[in-house]
Amino acid sequence: MAFVRTTVDVQGLDAARKDDTLKDYLAASNIRIASLGGKPLRGELSRFREISFARATLPQSTVVWPRDHLSLDRGIIVISLSGGLEVESEGTVFRKPPGLFLIPPGQEEVLFHSTEEENELLYVSTNARLLEDIDLSGTQYDPLVRVPDGVLAPLISFIETVCAISVEDTTMIAPLEVAAVEVARSLGILIADGVPAGLSLFSRTMRVIARDYPRRRLKLAGLAEDLDVSERTLQAAFAAEGTSVMREVRAIRARAAHERLLTKPRTTSADLASAVGFGSTSSLIRAMREFAPHPGAGVDTDADADAKRL
Domains of the chain: 4-192 (2.60.120.10), 201-309 (1.10.10.60)
Residue bearing the bigger pLDDT, 148 or 254: 254
Q: What is the pLDDT of residue 308?
A: 55
Residue 213 clears pLDDT 70, i.e. is over it: yes
Phi first, then psi: what are they for 305, rounded to 5°? Answer: -65, -40
Q: Per-residue pLDDT for 310 more than 70?
A: no
**Lowest mean pLDDT across 223-232, 264-273, 276-285:** 223-232
What per-residue confidence (pLDDT) applies to 68? 81
**271 pLDDT higher than 50:** yes
Give pLDDT tens digits for 73-103. 889 999 999 999 999 998 889 998 889 999 9
pLDDT reported for residue 118: 94
Whether the pTM exceeds 0.85: the reply is: no
Cβ pair 159, 186 in contact under 8 A: no
231-239 vs 201-212: helix axis angle to the nearest 10? 100
The tens digit of pLDDT for each residue in 241-261 reads 999 999 999 999 998 898 888
Whether the pLDDT of residue 286 is over 60: the answer is: yes
Residue 112 has pLDDT above 80, yes or no: yes
Highest mean pLDDT: which of 49-58, 133-142, 288-297? 49-58
pLDDT in tens, 16-71: 999 998 888 888 788 899 999 989 999 999 989 889 999 999 999 999 999 887 77
Mean pLDDT of 136-157: 80
CA distance 188 to 103: 9
Q: Average pLDDT over the chain, rounded to whole?
A: 85
pLDDT for 195: 42
The answer, yes or no, to whether residue 299 has pLDDT greater than 60, is no
pLDDT reading at 297 higher than 70: no
Strand partners, 82: 120
